[in-house]
Structures are given as C-alpha cells and as structure tokens.
Structure 1
Amino acid sequence: MRICTRWANENDVEILVALNNEFNGIGLTTNEVKESLDKTNELISLAILDDEPVGFACAQYFKSFCYTNLQGEITEMYIKETARRKGIASLLISFLELELRIRGVESVKIITGKNNDAAIKTYEQSNYIKKDHIVLRKIIT
C-alpha cells in the first residue's frame, strides 16, 4: 500500500468533481472546479492510494485586524469509504498544516459535525482540541 499527498491542479478537475459529488452531492461542473482552482488562494490537496485519488482536503488562511497572526482553517475533508482507516486523513492534515505554517499561520481550526465521531477522533489524534463553540448558519440568497 502506497499513500501520498500532493496539491491538486488543473489535471485533477474531473476527479475533484467526482470526489466532491460523493462528499456533498453538490454536482459542480468541471468548469466551476477549474475556475475555482484558477482564481482562489484556497489550498486543495489530494490523497493518492496506490495511484488512485481517494480523497481531498482544503484549507484557507486570512488576516483579520482582530488578531495579530494569520488565521487558518481546514475547511473540507473527504476520504472515500474504501480508503478510510489507513491514516490518510492524518496525512492530509499534516500536509495542509505544513503549508499553512510556511505561509505564517500559527493556529488552525477545523469544524465538523458534533456526531462525526471518526473525524473528531482523527482531529484529536492530530492534537486538535475541542472547543465549546456553536456554529450558526444562514442562507442569504
């Protein structure tokens, strides 16, 4: 078994569409994903297991006047069901953290569902600490 991580690029558009559709069923088009890759500073990493893309993770970072340092967030993470429990999520987290650190980020947050026990366990094993936050959401179309 060979696992590696790398940055997604324009050659990965179709696999990103497929993985994202498995992840959240949004049904993005290849053009939407290509445009996002071209025009965003989002960090998008891919996990490869035995030459097959099996997951992705995304991160963003930003500066707020409220804090002295850059803020980072791992915003999305998905591993195909057949590739889970092989340490791939932890590798993606480390891969993103390294790049965020290089860019000057000193603190990273991850938000997940309160009942997503497998994800919470993975994040805690990567030294993330649970906080008592409530996330509220509103669609403003």
Structure 2
Amino acid sequence: MDNEILYRLADSMDAEKFKLLNDLFNGPDTNDIEDIRKHLGNIESERVLVAEYKGNLIGFCCGQLIKSVCYKTYSFELTEIYVEEDYQKKGVGKGLIEHVEFYCNKNNIRKIELLTGSQNFNAQSFYEHLGYTKTNQIHYKKRISELNEKV
C-alpha cells in the first residue's frame, strides 16, 4: 500500500476532501469550505501536505514557515498532522513527516519544531521513533477576545 500513496502539496482542488479530514481531526465546523478553498495552498507562510490513496485524501500535515530577522534561515513548525483512522499505524504519518523533512531539506530549512500534548503519549512515541527529541521549553498561549482600547 505504501508505494501506492501519493504525498504532495495540497491545493484548492483538495478543499472538500480536506474539510472532511479536518472536521474529523479538529471538530466539525472549525473552518468553512469557502475559507479552506480560498486559502488551501495559497497562504505564503504555510505548507499543507496531503497523503492520497486511490484518489482519496487519507491524511494531511500542516506547517508554518517561520522567518526571523535573528536567524539566517527559515524554520518549520509542524502545526497539524492527521491520518484517517483506517490508515493509522500503516506508515502514512511517517510518510507525511518524511516528505516534510524532504521539503525542508530541499529548501534549506534546517530546523523542524512541533508541539504535542503532554499526555499524548502515542504522538510522543511516534515523534521520538522518527528521531525528534523533547525540549525543555514551556509553551504559553493567550486568547485575545477583544481589542484592548489602551493600545
């Protein structure tokens, strides 16, 4: 099966199939089809890779190209990876990551970073199996609910 899977960059023609997978992964209606169609493959700082088997999308991987004035080269942050349940543990996730790494190498991107849940032991094991190492960084976030008038 693995050599029958096509790994490629997504484009707007993948919108409907991508939305089905995204709804399974991130929950229904996290994004609408029009927005997905408009932005899939068109956001300059994002790369979306899909795994296709017999004309159907079975997985995807999203990442952000990050450029800072502090560093000479870009880095890549893996932000999403999902493989449809029927295709999990069959090498599809590994194939997606390998193709991300190939893309990064080809484009002189020398660092890939990602975040996963502290209790998501399956994901941690998966990434460690692929040679990724845990860091000692702590991740913070803040949701901005309304514009602060003081600024």
Same fold (TM over 0.5): yes
Pair 38,105 (structure 1): closer, same or farther in 2 beyond 3 Å:
closer
Indicate the RMSD between aligned Cα atoms, in angstroms. 1.6
Aligned match for 1:105, one of 99, 105, 109:
109
Q: Is the 8 A contact 2:12 2:38 kept in 1?
A: no
Cα deviation per residue 1:19-46 (whole Å; 9 max; x = unaligned)?
1111111511111001212530211111
TM-score, with length taken from structure 1: 0.91
Aligned residues: 141
Q: Quick check: 60-69 or 116-125, which moved more?
A: 60-69
**1:72·1:108 contact (CA, 8 Å) conserved in 2?**
yes
**Runs of 4+ in structure 1 displaced over 4 angstroms?**
none
The SS at the match of 1:106 is coil
Matched residues, percent identical? 30
Equivalent residue runs for 1:55-70 within 5 Å: 55-70=59-74
**1:39-75 per-position Cα deviation (integer Å, ceiling 9, x unaligned):** 3021111112344311100112122122232111111
The question of whether the paired residues in 2 share the 8 Å contact of 1:5 and 1:46 is answered with yes
Q: Name structure 1 gaps, 5 residues minimum.
A: none
Alignment of 1:43-54 (within 5 A): 43-54=47-58
Query: 2 CA distance for matches of 1:51 and 1:125?
Result: 29
Gaps of 5+ in 2: 146-151
TM-score by length of 2: 0.85
Aligned 1:79-94 pairs, distance under 5 A: 79-94=83-98
Higher alpha-carbon Rg = 2
Give me the whole-angstrom Cα distance separating, in 1, the residues matched to 2:75 and 2:95: 21
Mean Cα deviation higher: 126-135 or 42-51:
42-51
Cα deviation for residue 97 of structure 1 reads 1.4
